[in-house]
Structure 1
Amino acid sequence: FSLTGGENSPQKLCAQLCEHGLGQVQVYVGENLSYPEEKITSGTAEEISALDFPSLSVMMILNEDAQSFNSTVHGLADDLFQRSKVPMTKQEVRSVSMSKLQPKTTDIIYDIGAGTGSCSIELALLASQGKVWAFERNPVAVELLGKNKALFGVDNLEVIAGEALENIKAMPAPDCVFVGGSGGDLCEMLDVIYAKNSDCRVVINAITVETLAEVAAYYKEHPAYSLEIVNVFVARSKHLGSYNLMMAQNPVYVMTALKKED
């Protein structure tokens, strides 16, 4: 049940339902209730979205097939996310990365270089009682992040636009950090992160040997941490007539840094 107002008119809300594949749910709109010109209109969300209503109305939405979204495993299918040409951590690599990061339900988490937000969304679902900050400097990616946040309804995800190095300084100390892109400031960001929480769990993904070398050199200078490097190779099938051809994806280095036990 919704009390509409301002720019959030019944037709606009129904248009948003249509965008999320809910165009066939049943909707009732009440106008001018208790007045002589009282009117109640019923129809599907798709039908209501094409009509005009006073901004101040009431709306009842009935969905007989409503299901809550409960993520029981990490590694959601790529096609569940809204996508564009913005880089995205694919399902298989994402699953390995989440396994290495091991986020807890109440964790405070940074996703640095969040891209489309596929990892941010998964982290927010896993840390349902915690908080995720997604840092991204590409305006197109920031917009896409917002759309995916709305799509999955993850209120514990905060999107931060701009350079991550400057923005993380004012943030609460993280329990774990995922780095999908650093913009050339990786070592400085790690220094800031460990100054906030020396026990922070860190997973860094990279596709270049230069980033691999940079990470290896950093942790060689920080012997309090153990560094594990996994090179993930993934190939996906592609239909070629009546055959399946395996197409290789970019190999990804998944690097996990954990503080050594005393």
Structure 2
Amino acid sequence: MKERSSQKWEFRTPGIPDSLFLRDEEIPMTKEEIRSLVMSKLRLREDHEALDIGCGTGSVTVEMALIAKRVVGIDNNPKAVELTKANVSKFGVNVDVIQGHAPEALKDLGKFDRIFIGGGSDILEEIVMEALNHLKSGGRIVIDAILLETATRAVSLLSERAEVEVTQVTISKGMKTKNGTAMIARNPVFIISGEVNEA
């Protein structure tokens, strides 16, 4: 686990720079530009309760906790859980971090206004269906995916209960070279979101 910067984040703007998070190369992280879009699609308020399924480094978890009144992060990887806890502590936010396998780990958590599901899973169907059972009426669910197959499954699953919006984005980041700045493209990411009027 390494810290890229000791700088603090003193703003309420989503998209905390990646360099401010404690990182581990084995643990995936939702990058800052994607995180900004995810937060936009979540449409969080200060009175909301939010759930991050597959919290990884805790980058989305931390962003949620800067706004919502209650946040829970879940991951089945012990290293991810420890990393999320370290980032939660670093940013001084209040989050319940749980080690467990979704969907089983969700069963006793109650209802949430907003749910984020990060990354892919072989059992996406089961996770989404259980997550929908924990979404309050009028709640929003957001899923990000890098695989077309994951995005297609997510759209199909959410379409049964919500009006779905799909955004596909490719981010390029500038890299200094001896002659100037080259734009290096990252993998395209799908962001699937929906609002459920009857949970």
Q: Same fold (TM over 0.5)?
A: yes
Identity rate, percent: 34
CA offset digits 1:168-216 (Å, max 9, x no partner):
1110201010111353232222222332334320010000011011112
* Displacement of 1:260: 5.6
The partner residue of 1:158 within 83, 90, 96 is 96
Structure 2 gaps, min length 5: none
Aligned to 1:258: 195
Determine whether 1:84 maps to 2:59. Answer: no
Determine whether 1:200 maps to 2:118. Answer: no
The partner residue of 2:121 within 183, 190, 198 is 183
Count of aligned positions: 192
TM-score where L is the length of structure 1: 0.68
Determine whether 1:125 maps to 2:62. Answer: no
For 2:43 and 2:153, locate their aligned partners in 1 and report how far apart those are by CA, in whole Å: 24
Structure 1 gaps, min length 5: 1-19, 23-67
Query: Is residue 158–residue 164 contact of structure 2 (8 Å, CA) maintained in 1?
Result: yes
Give the RMSD, CA atoms, in angstroms: 2.0
The equivalences for 1:113-152 within 5 A come to 113-127=54-68, 130-152=69-91
Query: Is residue 120–residue 145 contact of structure 2 (8 Å, CA) maintained in 1?
Result: no
* Displacement of 1:146: 1.3
> Could you say if the C-alpha distance between residues 69 and 76 of structure 1 is closer, same or farther in structure 2, counting changes exceeding 3 Å?
closer
Larger Rg: 1
Query: Is residue 71–residue 125 contact of structure 1 (8 Å, CA) maintained in 2?
Result: no
Aligned to 1:42: none
* Higher RCO, Cα 8 Å, sep 6+: 2
For 1:204 and 1:139, locate their aligned partners in 2 and report how far apart those are by CA, in whole Å: 22
For 2:173 and 2:120, locate their aligned partners in 1 and report how far apart those are by CA, in whole Å: 27
* Displacement of 1:228: 0.5
For 1:131 and 1:232, locate their aligned partners in 2 and report how far apart those are by CA, in whole Å: 29
TM-score where L is the length of structure 2: 0.89
Query: Is residue 94–residue 119 contact of structure 1 (8 Å, CA) maintained in 2?
Result: yes
* Displacement of 1:70: 4.1
The partner residue of 1:108 within 49, 52, 74 is 49
